[in-house]
Structure 1
Amino acid sequence: MARPNAGTKGVPRLDRETQILSIASEQFGTYGFAGTSVGTVADIAGISKPLIYNYFGSKEGLYEACLARGGALLGDEIERIARGESVGLERGMETLAAMFTLLQPQRHLWRLFFDSTAPTDGPIADSIARYTDRIGALAQEGVTELMALAGNDDELDVSAMTSVWLGMVDSLMNWWVEHPEETADDMMQRCVRLLDALLGAGGR
């Protein structure tokens, strides 16, 4: 008897790969590299494990493909804002809004790049570093603009503020993952309130 979730033949390879990567990204982003099995991804997709190995070679190859897909989506969106007209705090808020909108239906993608169970050396580690370095470089560019507007070009201050910004974004994304009822618009309104509270408190 055929499995109830058995896949159908004749699905174009590109469509099948997209389906596999969507499922695998959610599994890796939710349960981590160590907690995800190829068998589980195959069962959810309604296909066989050998098909996944045929497409991606290994569990590591599947994870790398998920990183490439997610990294391109995130990096391209952040860079789109960076190449726009906004500078300083406005650019930062537009970047957050774009990320929330992009990640709303797939917020697990963020955790692919900050998975403590992922390999710390080899191709996966290199891929993670490549995409996080791209995000970090764009963040530093934006922070440099912000600090320049405040008349501060101290390199260590820029470095420290970049770390603060990246840490804040990571904390917000992780909080959002743990609160699935919050929409992208909810998060932006919350960020505005938090920023207003922070600046207001600093002004008293």
Structure 2
Amino acid sequence: MTEARAVGTKGMPREEREAQIVDAGTEEFGRHGYGGASMVEIARRVGVTKPLLYQYFGSKDGLYLKCLHRAGDRLTEGVASTMAAGGAPEQMPLAVLGAIFSTFDHDRYAWRLLRDTTLPSTGEIARAAADYQQRLDEFAMIGATQLMNARGLTDGRDIEAIALVWTGVVDSLISWWINQPDEDADAMVERCGRIMKNLFGW
């Protein structure tokens, strides 16, 4: 006997309706930022009422947090798994990019939630966003340290600067990719591989 699932509007299981709302919310927040996003527009995209959004998530903050945690957890888990698998330091940057592109291939605006400059400066959302950012910065430092140490560079401040450059490169590449709907994750990895080979000889 199968377990009965809670039913949302129009007979749709609640978890499926929530997933639809999170999908729509992620795109709306990604396009317009926390500050400019409209709960009315999110409800319209899903075909539900605005009160239903508040019934499910409590507030705009509640929905944003749900979208942010989904994006941040997927990303940090994917990058962590890729780095834990090991491999040549020179190949790790492309492998990490591949993990990011695969994570967001069908959810590209999710990346912007992790870089949203319109977020409140205090509160739960600010803390969650800062936590994900710290984790990503730590990954960048680990990768930069491994890569530079393999090349004989051990100066800590040089490595910090390289990690900062790397995070900027990643952000720029993904921002460009978001606007290329015909370029899937595999194609983007191939493109980045060509770029790295020509720029760095990797």
TM-score, normalised to structure 2, is: 0.89
Aligned to 1:4: none
Deviations 1:115-138 (A, max 9, x none): 222222222111111111111111
1:13, CA displacement in angstroms? 2.3
Q: Within the alignment, does 1:199 sit opposite 2:200 as a pair?
A: yes
Deviation at 1:94, TM superposition (A): 0.8
Distance (whole Å) between structure 2 residues aligned to residue 163 and residue 104 of structure 1: 24
Cα distance in 2 for residues equivalent to 1:136 and 1:17: 31
**What's 1:17 paired with?**
18
Task: Give me the whole-angstrom Cα distance separating, in 2, the residues matched to 1:103 and 1:132.
Answer: 17
1:101 corresponds to: 102
- Mind listing any 5+ residue stretches in structure 1 that lack a counterpart? 1-6
Q: Matches of 2:160 and 2:132 in 1, distance apart?
A: 19
Q: Name the amino acid aligned to 1:145.
A: Q
Paired amino acid for 2:184: T
Separation (CA, whole Å) in 2 of partners of 1:107 and 1:135: 17
Tell me the secondary structure at the aligned position of residue 34 of structure 2. Answer: coil
Q: Which aligned pairs between 1:105-124 and structure 2 lie closer than 5 A?
A: 105-124=106-125
Runs of 4+ in 1 over 4 A off after TM superposition: none
- Partners of 1:78 and 1:98 within 8 A in 2: yes
SS at match of 2:22: helix
Aligned letter for 2:144? V
Q: Which residue does the alignment assign to 2:5? A: none
Q: Which residue of 2 aligns with 1:146?
A: 147
* Conserved? CA contact 1:88–1:145, under 8 Å: yes
Name the CA distance, whole Å, in 2 between partners of 1:123 and 1:99. 25
Q: Which residue of 2 aligns with 1:130?
A: 131
What secondary structure is seen at the aligned counterpart in 2 of 1:34? helix
When residues 105 and 70 of structure 1 are mapped into structure 2, their CA distance, relative to the original with a 3 A threshold, is: same
Question: TM-score, with normalisation over the residues of structure 1?
Answer: 0.89
Aligned-pair CA distance for 1:32:
1.6
1:34 aligns to what?
Answer: 35
> 1: distance between equivalents of 2:88 and 2:76?
18
The residue identity in structure 2 corresponding to 1:24 is G
Partner of 2:68: 67
User: What SS does the aligned partner of 2:80 have?
Assistant: helix
User: Alignment partner of 1:152: what SS?
Assistant: coil
The answer to whether the Cα contact below 8 Å between 1:87 and 1:142 also exists between their aligned partners in 2 is no
RMSD (CA atoms)? 1.6
Q: What amino acid does structure 1 have at the position aligned with 2:170?
A: V
Deviation at 1:85, TM superposition (A): 2.3
Question: Residues of 2 paired with 1:170 and 1:126: CA distance?
Answer: 21
Most deviating of 86-95 and 158-167 = 86-95
Amino acid in structure 1 at the alignment position of 2:114: F
1:156 corresponds to which letter in structure 2?
R
Question: How big is the shift at 1:187?
Answer: 1.5
The aligned length equals 194
Distance 2:89 2:168 in 1: 18
Alpha-carbon deviation of 1:8? 4.1
